[in-house]
Amino acid sequence: MLTEEQVHTAVAKGIAFLNRTREPYGLWFMSMMHRLFGVPEFADALRRYDEVVATRPKEEAAVLRVLRRLNDANNPLHPEDWDHVKILTDQLLACALYCDRLGLPPEFAATLDKGVKAGGYAATHVLLAWIWLHDNGCRLAVRDGFVEDMFRAVAAILEDRPTIVNDLKLEAAAFLCMARQGERVDRRFFRHVVSIQRTDGGWGKLDTPDPANPDESSWHSTTLALLLLLHVEFPTALKRGGVEQKAPSQGTAGSASEVAE
């Protein structure tokens, strides 16, 4: 049984662990968590993000500058930076983040559909792009049934070997909650996530451990677990109105007391 105190403690430990990171994508999500949930420890995450971006190689820094719009609606647009956005998932997210300023490419709906059918991280990134597309007030014509298929593809990740929690499953659960589809996440999954938090306050392990700290938790898995649990601790705190969708709304993740039921 999961209590509010357990969730609050897990969130506090996760914040303390993640607040030490210098990983740009960790800082990127931390700034978003401050914007959505008001996490005070992350208030300066965007400033720290900019500091880290300034130290990165040219091509990586260009991509990070493009994606910065997640946390700054007035993010300066440098056309030359777009030439360095080459990874498909980054392209999807960038298109969604700027759809209100630049529109969407004609093949965007077909690309999203391919990602859903591919499953895995491709499907979770399609869902994230869909969330941000609607956050920016954009509309996209998609085939009948696409939205429900997208939600089901991401939920299916959680249904595969349900007793196992890994990075992909944390991403699927967190993004479903962001899309106000938290009812598609089994309540036992939330309890399992809290139960496997590591002693350093994080979750998972790095694919390439730091020789100076080989047992350190993964900043990426911790980011996702924390984002998930913030939806439990603050189920009504999202500042946007929710994702417009053709599939029925499944609600938010619910409070800790609801998760415990």
pLDDT tens-digit series, residues 14-40 = 999 999 999 999 999 999 999 999 999
pLDDT of the residue at 238: 54
User: Distance (Å, rounded) from C-alpha 216 to C-alpha 232?
Assistant: 25
| Tokens linked to 49 | 């993000």
Concatenate the DSSP letters of all residues of 142-173 into one string. --TTHHHHHHHHHHHHHHSSTT---HHHHHHH
The β-bridge relationship of strands 203-205 and 217-218 is antiparallel
Identify the H or E element spanning 114: helix 108-118
Where exactly are the structural domains of the chain?
4-259
Average pLDDT over residues 250-255: 48
**The pLDDT of residue 237 is above 80:** no
User: Distance (Å, rounded) from C-alpha 137 to C-alpha 213?
Assistant: 44
Enter the pTM of the model: 0.90
163-181 residue pLDDT tens: 899 999 999 999 999 999 9
Look at residue 219 and give its three-state secondary structure.
helix
User: Using alpha carbons only, how large is the chain's radius of gyration in Å?
Assistant: 18
**The pLDDT of residue 55 is above 60:** yes
Average pLDDT over residues 188-208: 94
User: Distance (Å, rounded) from C-alpha 118 to C-alpha 153?
Assistant: 9
**The pLDDT of residue 245 is above 90:** no
Q: At what angle do helices 88-97 and 58-67 cross, to 10 degrees?
A: 40
pLDDT of the residue at 259: 54
Count CB atoms within 10 A of the CB of residue 122: 18
pLDDT of the residue at 214: 85
Higher pLDDT, 212 or 78: 78
85-119 residue pLDDT tens: 999 999 999 999 999 999 999 999 999 999 999 99
Q: How confident is the model at residue 228 (pLDDT cuts 50, 70, 90)?
A: very high
Count CB atoms within 10 A of the CB of residue 6: 19
DSSP symbol at 251: B
**β-bridge mates for residue 181, sequence order:** 251
115-145 residue pLDDT tens: 999 999 999 999 999 999 999 999 999 999 9
**The pLDDT of residue 261 is above 90:** no
Please name which of 67, 63, 26 lies closest in space to residue 48, comparing C-alpha atoms: 26
Q: How confident is the model at residue 254 (pLDDT cuts 50, 70, 90)?
A: low
Residue entry with tokens 């992350």: 42
User: Distance (Å, rounded) from C-alpha 89 to C-alpha 94?
Assistant: 9
| Tokens linked to 131 | 């969330």
Q: How confident is the model at residue 59 (pLDDT cuts 50, 70, 90)?
A: very high
